[in-house]
A and B are shown apart, each in its own frame.
Chain A
Amino acid sequence: MTKTFQGRVVTPGAAKAPALVSRGGFNTLASYQMALMFGDKQVKCGDQNNPDLYHKPMIGKALCLPETIGSTTGGMVLYCACALGKQPACMLFSKPIDSLAASGAILAANWTEASMPVVDSLGEEFLAYVKDDMTVSVAEDGTVTVEG
């Protein structure tokens, strides 16, 4: 079964990847810190307070989340992940994007070669529907297709 959602493009691009879903806020610093520091090739999530993602590989995944939370270093951490080629395939927010995630995505779009489309405002229904490993496609216009 395929379902389509329309969001707003924050940083443009197209991607197709397996979903990785965080039901709660995604703590960017806590999630990336250890993986970046110790060169984890799979970029496993290090946030012990996030039972949905803890220890799961994040690289190349369609990261589906409500919002990011935590330290104001969050945007810088996301920028570093992109610059080092350790970013998710895309980031898909059910809520309007927060200032820290927007900063990271925009810094990456302007100051790195990485491709990481970011779409926000996909709605609660999107997050309720998408599950880990479903195939998610993002189009340039912010259309997100989930194949169950």
Chain B
Amino acid sequence: MILTKEQRAMLEGRQGETMAKVVKTLVMYGEAFGAERMVPVTSRYGHTVISFGIGVMRPVYQLYDQLLSANAVSRQPFSADPRPLDKNIPSSLLQDLVFKVMYSQQDRYEEQLRKLGLMGEDAYTCACYLPEAGNVPQRGEILSWAESSAVVYANSVLGARCNRNSGIIELMGSIAGFVPEFGLLTDDGRRADWIVEVRTSTLPDAQLLGSAVGMKVLEKVPFVRGLDRWLSRELNERTCAYLKDFGAACASNGSVGLYHIEGTTPEAADLGETIIRENAPVYVVDDEELQRVKDSYPCIWQDPDAVPKLCFMGCPHMTLGQLREWTDRVEEGLRAAGNKKVRIPTVFTTAPAVKAEFEKTEDAARLKATGVVLSTICPLMYMNNPLSKKMPVITSSNKLRTYSSARYYSDEEILAKITKEGK
């Protein structure tokens, strides 16, 4: 790899042994993917995927202590994934005890994040790119982020450039101020490898379509046609919310780091079909295909017929528009069923800054009246508790389904379950 004079000096230890190891790590990372040079991180903010103080992660805390003692901190403020705990979410005494043991290092770790350059106390969200959260990269900016759902959104919807980095590596890029140039940072790496033809009879659930696409194309870049029958080509709030959920499912059910939506996402809108590689294979998604994918999900509940004890929505975190829409839908669903409160304990999760905005509106009291709990945690971190794994939990998130024992249902099915069924 060709390094600049300054980068070479850092590698040789001019800024200390710790910084030299940071640069060596980034150089080896780049060489594994054939990178020929480093490029500067140009976004205003970074984002880290590691937001949880699990006791067993003590090697991470030791490494971060080492960085801090060498004053190797981030050159840019950064946001972080959601915090793990919220006492408002239903849990048993035993679960609470396990949570306490599991996340015993939370305070220590948050202190490390503050010292390393965290944006602020409300910077904990997986959807840092939402306008209210304030970490919205511009098109063409180079990022050093980790969090698969945030990376795929930044690449696809915002047109920024970021690889699917791992936790720790992303922080090292922000500390050094540069990252190796390969993959999704290059024009060639951003070309579409697959064409996806959506031929369903109605707008597919974003998280189901994303799952189907992710499972098919794995780490490749898909170019999706056919969504403009239902979605505006303009990147308005509804389209962005749909693409947020679609991308999260693509990224977790496969390893997609970038997708293009015909006529909609920035590079597809500008470059059209020239962005598709020659002889790209075509994947047709129709109603039968989506049903096949949905039917393929294993149910790993101990009792597959158990009545759900908890419902999570908001993985990734919900937008302000989604909170408003779902407040209406839950109210209407309860009214139609003759119920006043949700029939299954239900938690909506969103970014702290979005929650604050939502709570300024009358919708917040309406949602609260339905019994839905609004939280800012990461549902996955709740589900990581071994006692939570044994609970029959339902979700409309295909990401949460993939990484936990939660069972996936479509938005319509979830609405019916929480307003009419349950108990």
Hey, which bits of chain A sit against chain B, CB under 8 A? 10-11, 29-30, 33-34, 36-37, 39, 48-49, 69-76, 79-80, 83-84, 97-100, 102-104, 106-107, 109-112
Contact = CB atoms under 8 A, between A and B. Distances in A.
Interface residues of B, number: 41
Contacts of B21: 110-111
Q: Which of B56, B63, B146 has the most CB of A within 10 A?
A: B56
B76 to A, nearest CB: 19
A80 B166 contact: no
B353 interface: no
Closest 3 A/B residue pairs (Cβ): A75-B166, A83-B59, A103-B166
B168 A37 contact: no
* Residue among A34, A97, A107 with the highest chain B CB neighbour number at 10 A: A107
Contacts of A98: 219, 255
Nearest to A78: B166
Contacts, number: 102
B407 to A, nearest CB: 13
12 contacts: A11-B28, A37-B102, A71-B49, A71-B403, A75-B166, A76-B168, A97-B32, A103-B169, A104-B166, A106-B28, A111-B21, A111-B63
Contacts of A10: 32
Contacts of A104: 166
Given A11-B28, A71-B148, A75-B167, 6 more contacts: A71-B49, A72-B167, A79-B63, A102-B33, A103-B29, A107-B169
B59 A48 contact: no
Nearest to A71: B403
Contacts of A49: 298
A103 B167 CA distance: 8
Contacts of B403: 29-30, 70-71
A74 B54 CA distance: 15
Given A29-B403, A98-B219, A110 B24 contact: yes
